[in-house]
Amino acid sequence: MSLGATSSGHTQNSSLQTGDVLAAVDLGSNSFHMVIARYEGERLHIIDKLRESIRLGAGLDEKHNITLDAQDRALACLQRFGQRLRDCSASKVRVVGTNTLRRAANSQFFIQKAQEALGHEIEIVSGIEEARLIYSGVSHFSPHYAGKRVVMDIGGGSTEVIYGENEIPKLMESVSVGCVYLSQLYFSDGKLNAKRMHKAVTHAAREFEPIYLKYIQHSWDHVIGASGTARAAIRLVQDMGWSVNGMTLESLYKLKNALIEFEHVDNISLPDLSADRAAILPAGVAILIAFFEMFNVDIMRYAEGALREGLLYDQWDRLQNRDVRYLTINALKKQYSIDLEQVNRVRKTSLDLLEQVADAWGLTDGRYQRLLHWGSELYEVGLSLSHSQYHKHSHYIVANADMAGFSRSGQQILAHLVGHHRRRVPTIENFPLGIDQQKQFHALVIFRIACLLHRSRLDQELPVIIASVSENKMTLEIPTMWLDQNTLTLADLEQEQNYLADHLFQLKLVKV
């Protein structure tokens, strides 16, 4: 196995060494960003940053497919990023897609091509996970804004709002309004006037309305703007002398009026403002005004750090065995009162079987060990709702819970495992995308057998079971005496033979 298990059950990742390089890539709806850091002296030192304006969110057609032109722009960028990442190992690189790739109908098709261009796997994260990573990036790169704070990040397709205290996020929301999306709705022809700006502000306010009451019940020391839109707006109002050391609502009104006077986005001429930023600035200002008005914000300051920096530190934590996903799993176990003794039984057997067959089935990547580990801990969460069809309840809970640290595909793969640990087996074509579907099937076979062997929940050691496999066959050598003493388990194994035979897979039982 490429990874071992610690006494706490966590999978043991390769730790960082001085001089190691980590990279994070953020495939946003407006821009693609890459940040590269070197690990030295127990710190990450940024050594390179790249940004390209792709406007992927503006490249969705009426059927929500990413157009060929937008794909070409994105893939050309990713090939350039891929050249920079050529010497980076997969374990040191994280790549995430956000709102547009969550929404696009042809997202999976595009991601396959994008992964080939970049040379690394791409994860799609939920809006809540995006918010968590943004907050982490701000916390690590702007420690001077400690205490209670609200962080707001305007992306191309969504806006994330996070309330937290020091390093801990406590409220996280992602609203479906971003500067590219709002630009398409109200400024697609480039024309600017007061009526359009008012409509854009009203639209943004409607998006904030369902969430703002949860936030204004709290007090905060700082309101922080992250990423490009906030940085551009704050710099402009300060350069124009409309505000000092941050941005106020009054200064935003002045910036809005200045933009309206240009009458068209092509005419916008403001200090150090690029053309691609100018094209989406009116929409960004509208979102900021709606946010200031609804959240009663006095002043917003800009902070370094955002999604890609949060990704860097999240990867650092994983490599140093501080993976937030284990905290997420532990919280769910506690919330749903999971039987920890049963967890330990199934987890041990799953990992023992995996160790025997990993080389033959190509399951040596640590993700399969983690999948079986987490599946063992969560497969019974559905029992909190009902024993009848509890595996279906488990699938629903895991698929729909807010699971910090998990990508959308990772969460769906885990939900699929726990939801199909018993009864009939789905066809391989119906396994989630994200990792090899044949390998997911093999991991599911291992997990189903482990769950089956412990169905009686007896607190006793299993006998030594020898597993050997080929592509479509698993042979289990089990002591005859034990099977004679556990006839219900034998009956379950024989039923499992029938379930797997429906998929041209043979489970062979050999009494020894």
- Smallest Cα–Cα separation from 253: which of 264, 242, 262, 245? 242
Structural domain containing residue 279 = 143-303
Q: What's the rounded Cα separation, in Å, for the pair 508 and 477?
A: 9
User: Residue 51 corresponds to which tokens in the numbers above?
Assistant: 């940004």
Residues 93 and 205 in one domain: no
- Backbone φ and ψ of 60, nearest 5°: -95, 130
- Backbone φ and ψ of 133, nearest 5°: -70, -40
The CATH number linked to 380 is 1.10.3210.10
Residues 158 and 86 in one domain: no
Q: How far is CA 442 from CA 31, 264, 450, in A?
A: 38, 58, 13
Residue 9: inside a domain: no
For the chain, state the CA radius of gyration.
26
Residues 327 and 368 in one domain: yes
Residue 2: inside a domain: no
User: Can you give the pLDDT at residue 375?
Assistant: 98
Residue 44: inside a domain: yes
Mean pLDDT by 10 residues, the chain (512 residues): 32 69 94 94 90 92 94 97 90 94 94 95 95 94 86 95 95 95 95 97 97 95 94 96 96 98 96 91 98 97 92 92 93 95 97 98 96 98 94 96 94 97 94 92 98 92 96 97 95 97 96 95
Q: Alpha helix locations (H) across 420-486?
A: 437-453, 480-485
Residue 134: inside a domain: no
- The size of the chain, in residues, is 512
Residue 132: inside a domain: no
- Backbone φ and ψ of 153, nearest 5°: -130, 115
Give 468's strand partners: 475
User: Can you give the pLDDT at residue 5?
Assistant: 33
Q: How far is CA 236 from CA 4, 44, 52, 267, in A?
A: 53, 30, 21, 16
Question: Domain end: 303, 337, 353, which one?
Answer: 303
Hunting for tokens 């709705």 — which residue is that?
185
What's the whole-model pTM score?
Answer: 0.89
Three-state secondary structure call for residue 148: strand
The CATH number linked to 251 is 3.30.420.150
- Backbone φ and ψ of 34, nearest 5°: -135, 135
Q: How far is CA 108 from CA 113, 416, 429, 502, in A?
A: 9, 18, 14, 28
Residues 360 and 379 in one domain: yes
Q: What's the rounded Cα separation, in Å, for the pair 160 and 178?
A: 9
Is 258 buried (19+), middle (13-18) or exposed (0-12) by CB count in 10 A? middle
Question: Domain end: 283, 318, 353, which one?
Answer: 318
- At 380, the amino acid letter reads E
Give 148's strand partners: 165
Residues 42 and 94 in one domain: yes
- Backbone φ and ψ of 349, nearest 5°: -70, -40
The CATH number linked to 115 is 3.30.420.40
Q: How far is CA 400 from the centre of its chain?
A: 13
Residues 480 and 357 in one domain: yes
**By the 8 A CB rule, do 224 and 145 touch?**
yes
**By the 8 A CB rule, do 96 and 122 touch?**
yes
Question: Domain end: 303, 334, 358, which one?
Answer: 303
Q: What angle do CA 508, 509, 512 make, to 5 degrees?
A: 140
Residue 6: inside a domain: no
Residues 251 and 372 in one domain: no
295's CB contacts (< 8 A; 6+ apart) are: 150, 208, 212, 215, 216, 223
**By the 8 A CB rule, do 235 and 301 touch?**
no
Q: What's the rounded Cα separation, in Å, for the pair 1 and 6?
A: 13
- Backbone φ and ψ of 235, nearest 5°: -65, -40
Work out the number of other CB atoms within 10 angstroms of the CB of residue 353.
Answer: 23
| Structural domains counted in the chain | 3
Residues 328 and 394 in one domain: yes
Residue 153: inside a domain: yes
Residues 387 and 340 in one domain: yes
User: Residue 29 corresponds to which tokens in the numbers above?
Assistant: 């709806």
Give 218's strand partners: none
Q: Return left, alpha or beta for 255; rule: phi > 0 is left, psi -120 to 50 is alpha, else beta.
A: alpha
Residues 158 and 29 in one domain: no
Residues 163 and 112 in one domain: no
Residues 363 and 462 in one domain: yes
Residue 289: inside a domain: yes
